[in-house]
Chains A and B, each alone.
Chain A
Amino acid sequence: MPKIEIDGKPVEVPAGTNLVEAAKLLNIEIPTYCYHPGLTVVGSCRMCQVEMEQNGRTSVVLGCNTPAADGMKVITTSEKVHTLRASALEFLLQNHPLDCPICDDAGECDLQNYYMRYGLHDSRVNLLDKIHKHKVHDVGPTVVLDSERCVLCSRCVRFCREVAGVDELGIFGHGMQSELMNPPGKRLENDYSGNVVDLCPVGALTDKDFRFKRRVWYMERTPSVCTGCSRGCNINIDWEIERRYKDPQRRIQRLKPRYNRMVNEWWMCDRGRYGYHAVDAPDRLTAPHTRSETNGQGALTVDLVLQRAAAKIKAAVSKNGPKSVAVIASPHSSNEDLFLLKSLFVDTLKVDTIDINVSKEETGKQDEILMKADLTPNRRGAEEFGFHSGKNGGMSGDDILSGALDGDYDVLIVVHHDLSRLMGPKELAKLDQRCDYILYLGTHENGTVPVADDVIPLAMSAEREASYTNFEGRVQKTAKPFEPRGQARDEWSIWQDLAQLLGIPWKYASAADVFDAMGNSVPSFKGLTWEGLGNSGKMLAGVPEPAYRKVQSSKPLPAY
């Protein structure tokens, strides 16, 4: 482990660490454009130049291309370093259009930031001398390029080649005419295209989904986890609810990947990135529905629905035993939801006709980068609670459904699954007839809603605190940026209220409460606490941390 000194402060870093990373450990910023820790080093922007003294000699080196070596003394605050940075900035700004007032990146732009920190020079350039390039260039379905803003750092090019393994962007021409473009016949359309926008240190690449929607300084940021598939990429939710004049429904403005070395590093896929629209989609279920009378008790509330459900369950169990109640739960539910569901139905009511799995589950594209075919975030968690598709002697979701069609149950509870995807309209009508009471808990209008006797709207993962166990056994939590839409509720709180109505005195105040109780009673969650999950999650008890894996295509293309 080399020991070095940066601005007089000693630091010891693993061999091979470059000066930029070493400085980060001391909270010292070495500004960079082309360098990104997840990509190969090209050293082209020249922003990271620092002075370095070694063996009695001082020289100017690139922070990004200089590995720390014992005894190095690095200086980042000298007049000389300041001049070098200012000069690199001056070059980059020479032809820059400075359209910050209309640029999405303003507020999080490294040209702006570094200019304020290291530049602050007056322009020596005659405005009319600036060269012009393509202004609104459509490089692919998700991203727009403004060539004039591009500082030609080649981060986006390297991302496509090295991480996504595709040749969809390149720098063409030479000298001052150099320009980022799609190679002939190509478009930026890989499954990870949105990452180039995050990588772009300036506003050259902007996200069509976010373009002109919000100034970044109005947004709040909440750390969360993507629930788009069983990988569980760490994300930040950028949201804004005060200024919704453009799109009154839209609370989430964008999702950004959040670094987690063991899960997704700096990246996320487009499926996850743009999947958030479902949260504020017009077909969200925001209020309970019912097919029966409300008995003149005023507006329908979730509590009313729960009272009816409790009565139905009580009646069914006392008349025909626990076998007359069946539950099709969901791997979309969180650990807390499934824990309380299991505690109530399996442990207390002794219902064993309960499972999460149905064979006609929707699956997605899978690759070796991030995307998993399993589009649910918590199948592994559900399995830890014993939902195993009949493997442990119980019944699978398919068995339950066919039983329901045979009229085996008085009460059928369905969470998230859309029955109309699992059976045709005729069967659905039959199910409606054969079941005395169908309770549906879901997030969106779908084909199940019309056949359910009662419907309870559920909060989505972006609206709640919840924990999910990814396919490898990593338990990660989401934070809650804002309240769920309308009367939508946290699923675990539904089970708690139902339990209370059935005479079980649960008093969990939060997901954290439920989680900590789980840590005490479920073996694979032993020792885990809500606090302890931190920002990057924890492995299930007894599941070893998997080996570090660089997130990248199995067929990366060389840097250039």
Chain B
Amino acid sequence: MSATPNVSGGVRFLSRNFGLPGQTGIESAMKRGAYEMLKRAVAMKPEDVTALVKASGLRGHGGAGFSAGMKWSFVPKDKFPRYVCVNADESEPGTCKDRLILEYDPHLLLEGALICAFAVQAERIYIYIRGEYFYPWRVMEQAIAEARAKGLIGQNILGTGWSCDVQLATGAGQYICGEETGLIESLEGKKGWPRLKPPFYPAAIGLWGKPTIVNNVETLSFVPRIFEIGAEAFAGMGSPKNGGTGLFSLSGCVKNPGVYELPMGTPLQTLLYDLGGGICGNRKLKALIPGGSSSHILKAEECENLKLDFESVAAAGSMLGSAAVMAIDESVSIPRLTLWMARFYAHESCGQCTPCREGTGWILRLVTRILEGRGRKRDVDDLFQIADNIDGKTICALGQAVAWPTKSYVTKFRHEFDALVKE
């Protein structure tokens, strides 16, 4: 881990304290205002806190882009206890931004999580950290201990009579535990098999059957900032229906990969060329994956005027997802990219439901066969059709996560596949 995070060039709103000396310690964090917003929040009525977050237009930065305030308001009125789960199981290929928050500003996350817990009157916060994130675990562990020593976690927080504990938990490193119900199952000590829907919202029936808010690290970290500048100002920072900024993980064939903070709705060109320094070897951009490996691929011409917010990317035929932007230049073979993607999903399918368990492996074998030169013409059609048979027929979104890229790779770059197969 380099000493200074690569967030240079973008705006420094969420990330403004990243890399400042001593920032992970509570003393310096508090000097810079940490937990002031918590104080402000606990002076309000919990439902007003939720209303404020709703008004800010804050969307989930974990992948689905669901309105955070809306999610909080789904908690049924008379059901207790309630829990907040911080989803720090960042595993979507291409995504590496939550890690920076965990490592550089743990108190920002803690503060946001506590405000959320206060808003929904939760008695416990679980921070579920990806199994491979050893260092972030240690930073968080330290931060929690410090906050507890200061009375910010535990009984009667800030004299409000509201008590809330924080507990760290980790998975064994499975992608599927980032799916919110998979995460909950794993937290319960079971195999991380996503739950069957309906019930759709853990907000009503979640951890141990109790109301549970599962939010991504970045999403919760924005909450103190909303209090700082007000909901309206926050909403004004982004584009319509997309409040505030976002952390964009830029990777692939760019000169300066890294995490960049940008207002929602920033043009892709800014990220790719102004900040990312353009395509490696000054080659031409061939395609773009805008929201992590599970999003539809966009051809270069489809993203010339792309704006980086949930609606614009959806309108272009893909999704912003976890805002992991991957640039693909002319030198990259799409069938090889398919192999890489299929390998990941075949390995990470939890194996619970038929289409995903069997389909991911089948896709992998088909692509392998095509790349090894053993492919038949019909294999390309089969590839699409198998992906289509998975799409929307699974328990959790991992099915789509493999189906969408596969289908879009095959449709948009069919000639590359056809060139590899015999008649």
Contact = CB atoms under 8 A, between A and B. Distances in A.
B354 A175 contact: no
Given A174-B348, A175-B346, A175-B349, A88 B354 contact: yes
A560 interface: yes
B13 to A, nearest CB: 39
Given A152-B357, A171-B191, 19 more contacts: A42-B352, A43-B395, A44-B354, A45-B354, A49-B393, A65-B196, A84-B393, A87-B393, A88-B393, A91-B389, A129-B369, A171-B351, A174-B349, A175-B348, A175-B361, A176-B361, A560-B190, A560-B191, A560-B193
Nearest to A173: B351
B124 to A, nearest CB: 20
30 contacts: A42-B352, A43-B196, A44-B196, A44-B352, A44-B395, A45-B354, A46-B394, A47-B354, A60-B392, A65-B196, A84-B393, A87-B355, A87-B393, A88-B354, A88-B393, A90-B389, A91-B354, A91-B355, A91-B359, A94-B358, A95-B358, A171-B191, A174-B349, A174-B350, A176-B346, A176-B349, A176-B358, A177-B351, A178-B351, A560-B191
A392 interface: no
B198 interface: yes
A558 B208 CA distance: 11
B381 to A, nearest CB: 10
B304 interface: no
A175 B361 CA distance: 8
Nearest to A130: B365
Nearest to B376: A126
B236 to A, nearest CB: 36
B45 interface: no
A175 B196 contact: no
A240 to B, nearest CB: 35
Contacts of B359: 91
Nearest to A177: B351
B355 A175 contact: no
B353 A45 contact: yes
A151 to B, nearest CB: 8
Interface residues of A, number: 35
B354 to A, nearest CB: 5
A47 B355 CA distance: 10
Interface string B340-372: 000000111111111101111110010001000
A173 B392 CA distance: 24
A129 B376 CA distance: 14
Interface in A300-352: none
Q: What 8 A-B pairs have minimum CB-CB distances, sorted nearest first?
A: A178-B351, A176-B361, A91-B358, A175-B349, A87-B389, A43-B196, A174-B351, A44-B353
B173 to A, nearest CB: 11
B190 A175 contact: no
A45 B351 CA distance: 11
Nearest to A151: B354
Interface string A22-46: 0000000000000000000111111
B296 to A, nearest CB: 21
Contacts of B358: 91-92, 94-95, 176
B355 A88 contact: yes
A123 to B, nearest CB: 11
Given A174-B348, A175-B348, A178-B357, A42 B196 contact: yes
B196 A41 contact: yes
B341 to A, nearest CB: 14
B302 interface: no
B351 A176 contact: yes
A151 B196 CA distance: 18
Nearest to A95: B358
Contact of B355 (A46, A62, A174): A46
A129 B348 contact: no
A175 B389 CA distance: 17
Interface of A: 41-47, 49, 60, 62, 65, 84, 87-88, 90-92, 94-95, 124-126, 129, 131, 151-152, 171, 173-178, 558, 560
Interface residues of B, number: 32
Contacts of A90: 389
B89 to A, nearest CB: 15
Contacts of A84: 393
A171 B353 CA distance: 12
A65 B198 contact: yes
Given A91-B389, A94-B362, A175 B357 contact: yes
B382 interface: yes
Most buried by A among B348, B362, B369: B362
B79 to A, nearest CB: 19
B421 to A, nearest CB: 14
Contacts of A46: 353-355, 393-394
A129 B365 contact: yes
Nearest to B389: A87
B174 interface: yes
A90 B386 CA distance: 10
Most buried by B among A43, A47, A91, A94: A91
A92 B351 contact: no
Contacts of A88: 354-355, 393
Contacts of A171: 191, 351
B309 to A, nearest CB: 28
A173 B192 CA distance: 11
Contacts of A47: 354
Interface string B238-256: 0000000000000000000
Nearest to B362: A94
A92 B198 CA distance: 24
Nearest to A33: B354
Contacts of A45: 353-354
Nearest to B185: A560
Nearest to A126: B369
A131 B358 CA distance: 11
Contacts of B349: 174-176
Contacts of A44: 196, 352-354, 395
